């Protein structure tokens, strides 16, 4: 009953297409289900003790207050990842939403208050920009500081938390790559690439930004990709036929244009990236940049739909380039060769927190731990054992005998 309202609010503020708004709301519902089951599974290990009549056990305890900073592009799902786990682990949360999406936060809080009875204050909202995020980071009372946003934001805030020896959980920028091998099923591949690169108008941390294509299929993939991009339906995100909605701000458009101008000045072929005339919204055609080498522009995350496409001949070289950037969030390989996919998933393969086979880089399910390595910040949210970040661990040793034997056989009589 509340789902359409929340979805529409997401589409209104974050400008995501309505199907993605609905998907995001569903993600919160799924997190509620997941966390409800998880609340009975916050297991602590029991270890055999080296001493007779002793027991060794881990007990997980709540942390206290979690501070949560969320970005405009996932205005409710990321809160859901954090709050659902924080709550079943016994914590409360202070949520600082993006200034672009405070209406989403108000709506979620209203829904919470309707069902929360005496637990309303488990969720408090702190509105504001950078200053509000800094206050949370510096506040000694915030036991866990969980933030989603750019790498620059993480680098500015993490030292403030570290200065008070607080805990951080960071899910920062991505610069995600996909590798297309010659054995790949190209129809599936083009679909996966198009959704990951152009979906959400390139404004996901998991958006596909760099594509390495085996030289034997490079030209064919490029032709098919350009065709797929040219058929994308760009426009009003409330219209169910739309696939690509507007960019969030003029600033995003400016950053996108700067990148494309720089690529053009290097003589690279750029297809798309054009602004579509509109009175109020910023619509842009997703861009493809063709390059023969890994240029500087590819090292940074531009939060807009730009896909760099580059050929390779050896898989290990493609993986090396994929891993050569500072960020380490998501990655994909498209292949029907098990040796290639296993190499990609192995220790010499992708260095990212997420590695997919025959799926694009975006659109992760909540059941897995979500997050990435290196400049992406190392945090893990949502599924698997991510809940452990929201608790503190007590190691308890219980002596149920009448003697006091010391560990390691120490004598002190």
Write out the catalytic residue numbers.
Answer: 171, 205
Binding segment toward ligand UN1, per CB under 6 A, in 217-225, 291-299, 302-310, 360-368: 360-368
Contact between 204 and ligand UN1 per CB under 6 A? yes
Q: Which strand ranges, in their side-by-side order, compose the sheet holding 65-69?
A: 123-125, 92-96, 65-69, 142-148, 167-171
Binding segment toward ligand UN1, per CB under 6 A, in 83-91, 238-246, 251-259, 361-369: 361-369
Of the pair 243, 362, the CB lying nearest ligand UN1 is at 362
Chain centroid to CA 407: 44
Contact between 332 and ligand UN1 per CB under 6 A? no
Confirm if 331 and 322 have CB atoms less than 8 A apart.
yes
Q: How many residues bind to ligand UN1 according to rule CB under 6 A?
A: 10
Out of 7, 9, 25, 73, the only residue in the binding site for ligand UN1 (CB under 6 A) is 73
Where residue 382 falls (left for φ over 0; alpha for ψ -120 to 50; beta otherwise) is left
Name beta bridge partners: 180: 213, 334
Contact between 380 and ligand UN1 per CB under 6 A? no
Contact between 364 and ligand UN1 per CB under 6 A? yes
Out of 87, 89, 190, 205, the only residue in the binding site for ligand UN1 (CB under 6 A) is 205
In angstroms, what is the minimal distance from the CB of 153 to ligand UN1? 12
Site string for ligand UN1, 154-193 (x = CB under 6 A): ----------------------------------------
Contact between 206 and ligand UN1 per CB under 6 A? yes
Site string for ligand UN1, 210-239 (x = CB under 6 A): ------------------------------
Tokens representing residue 111 in the block: 């829904």
Of the pair 82, 148, the CB lying nearest ligand UN1 is at 148
Contact between 16 and ligand UN1 per CB under 6 A? no
Binding segment toward ligand UN1, per CB under 6 A, in 56-64, 236-244, 341-349, 362-370: 362-370
Out of 72, 74, 253, 334, the only residue in the binding site for ligand UN1 (CB under 6 A) is 74
Out of 362, 375, 380, 391, the only residue in the binding site for ligand UN1 (CB under 6 A) is 362
In angstroms, what is the minimal distance from the CB of 322 to ligand UN1? 18
Query: Phi and psi at residue 196, in whole multiples of 5°?
Result: -70, -35
Of the pair 153, 205, the CB lying nearest ligand UN1 is at 205
Residue 288 and residue 300: Cα distance in Å, rounded? 16
Judged by the rule CB under 6 A, the positions of this chain that interact with ligand UN1 are 71, 73-74, 148, 204-206, 362-364
């Amino acid at each position: 009953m509340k789902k359409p309202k929340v979805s529409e609010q997401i589409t209104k503020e974050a400008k995501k297409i309505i199907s993605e708004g609905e998907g995001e709301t569903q993600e919160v519902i799924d997190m509620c289900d997941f966390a409800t089951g998880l609340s009975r599974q916050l297991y602590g290990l029991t270890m055999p003790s080296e001493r007779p009549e002793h027991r060794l056990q881990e007990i997980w305890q709540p942390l206290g207050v979690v501070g949560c900073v969320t970005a405009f592009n996932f205005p409710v799902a990321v809160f859901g990842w954090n709050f659902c786990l924080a709550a079943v682990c016994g914590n409360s949360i202070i949520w600082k939403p993006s200034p672009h999406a405070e209406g989403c936060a108000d709506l979620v809080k209203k829904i919470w208050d309707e069902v929360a009875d005496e637990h309303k204050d488990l969720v408090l909202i702190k509105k504001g920009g950078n200053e509000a995020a800094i206050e949370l980071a510096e506040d000694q009372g915030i036991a866990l500081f969980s933030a989603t946003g750019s790498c620059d934001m993480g680098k500015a805030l993490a030292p403030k938390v570290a200065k008070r020896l607080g805990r951080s959980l960071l899910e920062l920028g991505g610069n995600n790559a996909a590798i297309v091998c010659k054995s790949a099923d190209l129809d599936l591949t083009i679909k996966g690439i198009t959704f990951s690169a152009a979906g959400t108008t390139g404004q996901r941390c998991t958006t596909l930004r760099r594509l390495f294509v085996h030289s034997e299929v490079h030209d064919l993939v490029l032709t098919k990709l350009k065709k797929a991009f040219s058929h994308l339906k760009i426009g009003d995100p409330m219209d169910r036929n739309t696939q690509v909605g507007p960019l969030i701000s003029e600033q995003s458009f400016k950053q996108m244009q700067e990148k494309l101008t720089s690529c053009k000045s290097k003589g690279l072929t750029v297809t798309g990236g054009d602004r579509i005339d509109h009175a109020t919204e910023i619509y842009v055609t997703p861009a493809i940049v063709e390059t023969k080498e890994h240029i500087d522009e590819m090292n940074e995350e531009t939060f807009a739909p730009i896909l760099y496409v580059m050929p390779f001949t050896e898989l290990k070289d493609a993986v090396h380039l994929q891993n050569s950037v500072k960020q380490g969030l998501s990655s994909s390989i498209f292949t029907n060769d098990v040796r290639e996919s296993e190499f990609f998933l192995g220790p010499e393969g992708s260095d990212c927190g997420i590695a997919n086979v025959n799926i694009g880089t975006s659109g992760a399910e909540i059941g897995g731990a979500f997050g990435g390595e290196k400049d992406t910040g190392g945090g893990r949210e949502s599924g698997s054992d991510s809940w452990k970040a929201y608790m503190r661990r007590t190691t308890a040793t219980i002596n149920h005998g009448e003697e006091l034997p010391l560990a390691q056989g120490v004598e002190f009589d």
